[in-house]
Amino acid sequence: MIVSAIESAIVRGPELGPVGKPGSTVLRCRMPPRATAARPYRILPMPTRAADSPSVTPSAARAALGDLVRWMTDQGWRPHEFQQAVWEDHLAGGSGLVHVPTGAGKTYAAYFGPLAEMIAEARAATDAGTKVTGPRTLYLTPLRAVSRDVEKALTRPAKELGVKIRVETRTGDTSSYTRKKQRAELPQVLITTPESLSLLLTYPEARERFQGLHSVVLDEWHELLASKRGVQTELAIARLRAWLPNLRTRALSATLSNLDEAAQSAVGAGRRFTLTSARMDRPVHIETLIPDNPGRFPWAGHLGLKMLPDVLASLDAERSTLIFCNTRSQAERWFHAIEAAKPEWRGHMGLHHGSIDRDDRTRTENGLKDGSVRLVVATSSLDLGVDFAPVERVYQIGSPKGVARLMQRAGRASHRPGEPCHIVCVPTHALELVEIAAVRRAIAAGEIEPRRFDTKPLDVLAQHMVTCALGGGFDADAFYAEVRGAQAYADLTREDFDWTLRLVTEGGGTLAAYPEYRKVTHEGEGRHAAPEGKPAQLHRLNIGTITGDATMEIRFVGGKRLGSIEEHFVGKLRVGERFVFAGRVLRFHRAKDLTCFVRPATGRSNHTPIWSGTRLPISESLAEGVRSAMGSLSAGDEAEPEFAAAAPIIEAQSRLSHTPSEGELLVESCETREGSHLFVYPFEGRLVNLGIASLAALRLGRRRPATFTIAANDYGFELLCERGEDFAEWVDEELFTSEQLMEDISEAVNVGELSKRQFREVARVSGLVFQSYPGAHRSMRQLHASSSLLYDVLTDFDPDNLLLAQARREVLDRQFERSRLARTLARLASATVIRRAVKRPTPLGLPLVIERVGGQISSETLEDRIARATKQWEADLRKAPKRERTT
Amino acid sequence: MAVDVAGERIELMPERGAHWREGGAMLVSDLHLGKSGVFRAAGIAVPDGDAHEQLDRLAQGLARTRAERLIIIGDLLHAPAGLTPSLVEAVAAWRKRHTQDWLVVPGNHDRRLEDLTDAWRLDIKPEIYTEGPFRFRHEPAIGPGTPTDGFVWSGHTHPAVRLRLATGSVRLPAFVIGPHRAILPAFSRFTGGVVHVPEPGDRLFAVTPNAVIEAPVELRA
């Protein structure tokens, strides 16, 4: 009976999927309700292929899989159809991607195929009186914090079947003793991160050590995909695949709309893959917390603490609850505020974000599992595969930012099949009501965001080249082919490849080689290698693509580590100053080396660290939804429950200015003491709005010299300039032309500081700057240079350096979402421009005035701007005669 | 931009040096020659060219002021690893074309300075060198209360100033002139800067690409 159900659910065909490569297979399985009682189950006889290891026969692997299935049923779990489909595919030699909701059993779906082979091999070895050595399965996870849970899950089945399989973790946190042991011999199952894998590849004996590996599992692939870490992973696997042509890869992913691309990047360019998905129909139910008197909703802000009383009133201390915030500082503030209002809950509360010490985070996760913690305030650190018991209630404070994101968070609420996922949204200002309604509509229409990919970043390639040169070396031609086997570099030109190779061998990528530079050496006939020594040591210390501001460890004086904190925040603290971190009030004691020492303090504080780069823009799907919702709101639509609450602000906007409907572009101008403001509302997410703002500032500045300060948020942007300079009339379709777009935006990016900021990442990944670390040898200090300094040096002395070009391109791609920017410009060029002169900022404009953070674009010289500023200082000095001039 | 320092007229130059007319000398500090070479030797791809740019700027400043002497207040060099034959040769060749005397007050980075005495025609002075009303030492006197018998010129800290403009802020290298000591900006452009925390009586002069401009001083409460 079961057999026929499975057969009917498996669709095999080469033509499926829009981007599916010929020969790829798509498996769609229905998700049966999770049964608690064990039901009989047997393995389908299907054609199989022997595993790479000579001692494993197909029948032995199949028998081991049968044992694993029996073990599962003994636990009271019934194997799902999709799991069985993946096992079969694996035993038949397939690779691919598994796409099922969180908590559905992905891990065992990917793992039992390789495990069956490992068990069979171990049994054969026992019979023959030999021992299995070396790695068989590589389990890659994006978060090292997760690996402990994974290790437990991967160890259990074989152990309980009485088969000895060595399952070990190797991450940056692994003890040096274990590392040393692993250096001698890798375990059969190695759980690791992309960075640790790359590090293993830097050792000359890497190829030998990975001999015998037959499977790679890529956990949380959707998280890695869209980043340079994903690209780094692809390159590392391409390396392994070059050594082990029959290597099988299985990626695990949550909700995505471009699964084919995701699968292709997991298995490598041009290779066939199997997509396995299980639909689990769990409707998402979104409720919005609307206060009794919505009139008091603020027009701006993102902390949302005004909603605290309403949230407290709806919280139930007896039910496990998760409160998601968008940023770490917001999470700190909410945790602190809830704790202050409900001191009796203190013992059952937890705070979870990426900067809190791992042990504390683990304690919170475990507390949630065993019920001792019932209320957790978290950020996206809990979005990632942290597997914990589902909670009873989920809250989202502030904008949901994206459709998939809110669905994933809602999915944390009680996992009962068929029951809806329920999430309570807490808007922090009135316009977020519109966003929430837009998400609900997008979910209903099935509009989920795709994940965009980083394509051929040369900095990651440069790092990988050094890694491979150290790890046994390479032949340029073969290595070019190998790199193109990674989907991210499938269309890498030989020219770019050779440029990057010159970067690591000669320093300068273009004309002149840098004198005395050496990192990778060309040994003739295309053979490249790297010597051991200081450069190699520096390279190993700095492998990876994760960049952030310089962080400092934060700990109690003479005691416990609390987490990490950004250096520039510490730089601004005065001794004795109080601030909130990890849910505690602390007093700054002193900073030494890379540690910030604190003492516990009492009382309250509103001072929380700000971590940079933590604010996401709203997604393209959501932005479109918001524009449409704004339009229907101004037309008097009341279909969504949020609309009634949002009506007052929309009415105010309409009365003071205008509420744009779809197809309209609203432009407001106003004069204040600060200067002349120009507000434009493309409703396209903060990054794209910022890109358009830079472009507009550049183009306006060409028509008349001026200096603009730019502010942007998810709805629109503001250009501020000197008083009396009204630019509203200048906003026309020509301003948004796509002609000269790349040239203009590149110039705007050059003028602004953005590419300099982006260069930090490029410089770090390509090995131009190194992260300082505690206990660094003194000679390292001579190598200290900030990336912005290097940016200036390169601009002065090697302006054609491709890494500069890459920084500019990344600003365009990532900061401004280039393709989205082009689509937006096309939309704006055909929009009807509505101009309004207003007396003061409107409900749409006020948030921009309040949160003015952004770059400047100027067509004036620095001297002119300082001269102008000097006049202002002199005026200020005249106004404040009491303050003596200090000369 | 000319200022009066301990009764002497000093011109603060946009080349990042100071001209002491009475003493017939141009004052500079923190050239960190060979810094990019130190990076390259460690496998960090930093382009060459910083030394040549500095030598050109020095030549321009010396020609404009007609100073006969250059007083280098420490950190002429960055580290021995960057002292490559080509750099030594390039500076030596430049020294043949420019005949001014080089007086060097050693700084904390100036290891192996004495090896260059002949090639670069260096006149190496003690760590505290006195001339006229001035004392020259690389590191500024520590703490405002340190007793001094003379006005001290120094470098070492690479001072910078943050200027708040109507539309944001910029950070520029700066001269710091106080009642008892002055600090020069780093002459090298391949150096970071530390925003100077003013002490009572300090005046700050920001260096822009084409001028030196006095900046307002904000004393911390």
The segment with the largest mean pLDDT, out of A142-146, A611-615, A794-798, B73-77, is B73-77
Sign of the CA dihedral with A237 first, then A238, A241, and A243 last: negative
Q: Does B39 touch chain A (CB under 8 A)?
A: yes
Please report the pLDDT score of residue A750 as a whole number: 56
Q: Alpha-carbon distance A2 to B36, whole Å?
A: 70
Q: Alpha-carbon distance A454 to A431, whole Å?
A: 32
Mean pLDDT along residues A694-711: 83
Query: Does the pLDDT value for residue B55 go beyond 90?
Result: yes
Query: Does the pLDDT value for residue B100 go beyond 90?
Result: yes
Percent of chain B with pLDDT over 90: 58
Q: Edge-to-edge, what's the strand order for the sheet holding B8-12?
A: B2-5, B8-12, B18-20, B25-28, B69-72, B101-104, B122-124
Query: Does the pLDDT value for residue A481 go beyond 70?
Result: yes
Q: Residue A863: its chain B contacts at CB < 8 A?
A: 208-211, 213
CA angle A540, A543, A548 (to 5 degrees): 135
Q: Which two three-digit tokens encode residue B195?
A: 């925003």
Structural contact between residues B216 and B210, judged by C-beta atoms closer than 8 angstroms: no
Render the burial of B89-98: b for 16+ CB within 10 Å, e for the rest: ebbeebbeee
Mean of the per-residue pLDDT values of chain B: 88
Cβ contact A535–B42 (<8 Å): yes
pLDDT in tens, B118-157: 999 999 999 999 999 999 999 986 555 555 678 999 999 9
Q: Does A797 touch chain B (CB under 8 A)?
A: yes
Chain-centre distance for alpha carbon A309: 32
Distances (CA, A) of A870 to A866, B13, B182: 6, 19, 23
Q: Does A521 touch chain B (CB under 8 A)?
A: no
Query: Does the pLDDT value for residue A35 go beyond 50?
Result: no
pLDDT in tens, A262-283: 999 999 999 999 999 876 656 7
C-alpha distance from A470 to closest chain B C-alpha (Å): 13
The segment with the largest mean pLDDT, out of A474-483, A528-537, A637-646, is A474-483
Q: How confident is the model at residue A9 (pLDDT cuts 50, 70, 90)?
A: very low
Mean pLDDT along residues A286-290: 89
Query: Does the pLDDT value for residue A853 go beyond 70?
Result: no
Percent of chain A with pLDDT over 90: 27
Q: Alpha-carbon distance B44 to B63, whole Å?
A: 35
Q: Does B84 touch chain A (CB under 8 A)?
A: yes
All residues at 6 or more sequence positions from A795 whose CB lies less than 8 Å from its CB, including other chains: A804
C-alpha distance from A496 to closest chain B C-alpha (Å): 17
- Nearest CB partner across the interface for B42, out of A512, A722, A783: A783
Lowest-confidence range among A316-325, A390-399, A717-726, A865-874? A865-874
Q: Which chain A residue is nearest to residue B163, measuring alpha carbons?
A: A866
Cβ contact A515–B46 (<8 Å): no
pLDDT in tens, A621-655: 889 889 988 888 888 777 888 888 888 888 888 89
DSSP summary character for residue B117: T
Q: Residue A507: its chain B contacts at CB < 8 A?
A: 40, 45-47
- Nearest CB partner across the interface for A516, out of B41, B167, B191: B41
Query: Does the pLDDT value for residue A362 go beyond 60?
Result: yes
Please report the pLDDT score of residue B216 as a whole number: 82
pLDDT in tens, A82-102: 999 999 999 999 999 998 776
Cβ contact B43–A858 (<8 Å): no
* A343 vs A145: which has the higher pLDDT: A343
Lowest-confidence range among A358-362, A380-384, A460-464? A380-384
Please report the pLDDT score of residue A257 as a whole number: 73
Mean pLDDT along residues A852-871: 60
Q: Residue A465: its chain B contacts at CB < 8 A?
A: none
| Nearest one of A252, A50, A32 to A141, comparing CA atoms | A252
Cβ contact B45–A535 (<8 Å): no
- Nearest CB partner across the interface for A782, out of B78, B86, B168: B78
Which residues 524-583 of chain A have a CB within 8 Å of chain B?
534-536, 538-539
Please report the pLDDT score of residue A19 as a whole number: 34
Q: How confident is the model at residue A52 (pLDDT cuts 50, 70, 90)?
A: very low
Which residues 489-518 of chain A have a CB within 8 Å of chain B?
503-504, 507-508, 512, 514-518
C-alpha distance from B53 to closest chain A C-alpha (Å): 9
Query: Does the pLDDT value for residue A145 go beyond 70?
Result: no
Mean of the per-residue pLDDT values of chain A: 80
Lowest-confidence range among A24-38, A143-157, A478-492? A24-38
Number of Cβ within a 10 Å radius of residue A175:
8
| Nearest one of A833, A433, A397 to A649, comparing CA atoms | A433
Query: Does the pLDDT value for residue A473 go beyond 90?
Result: yes
What is the 3-state secondary structure of A252-270?
Answer: EECCCCCHHHHHHHHHCCC
Structural contact between residues A515 and B81, judged by C-beta atoms closer than 8 angstroms: no
C-alpha distance from A71 to closest chain B C-alpha (Å): 53
Structural contact between residues A87 and A113, judged by C-beta atoms closer than 8 angstroms: yes
Q: How confident is the model at residue A883 (pLDDT cuts 50, 70, 90)?
A: very low
| Nearest one of A380, A383, A386 to A366, comparing CA atoms | A386
Query: Does the pLDDT value for residue A208 go beyond 60?
Result: yes
* A785 vs A654: which has the higher pLDDT: A654
Does this model's pTM top 0.90? My answer is: no
Mean pLDDT along residues A518-538: 85
Number of Cβ within a 10 Å radius of residue B110:
20
Query: Does the pLDDT value for residue A712 go beyond 90?
Result: no
pLDDT in tens, A743-756: 787 777 655 566 77
- Nearest CB partner across the interface for B208, out of A519, A675, A866: A866
C-alpha distance from A656 to closest chain B C-alpha (Å): 27
Query: Does the pLDDT value for residue A22 go beyond 60?
Result: no
Which residues 123-162 of chain B have a CB within 8 Å of chain A?
none
Cβ contact A516–B216 (<8 Å): no
Place of tokens 């530390």: B194
Query: Does the pLDDT value for residue A656 go beyond 50?
Result: yes
Mutation target among B165, B189, B205 for the A interface, most CBs of A within 10 A: B165
Please report the pLDDT score of residue A57 as a whole number: 87
Q: Residue B78: its chain A contacts at CB < 8 A?
A: 782
Sign of the CA dihedral with A523 first, then A527, A532, and A533 last: positive
Mean pLDDT along residues A491-509: 86
Q: How many CB pairs under 8 A join A and B?
A: 141
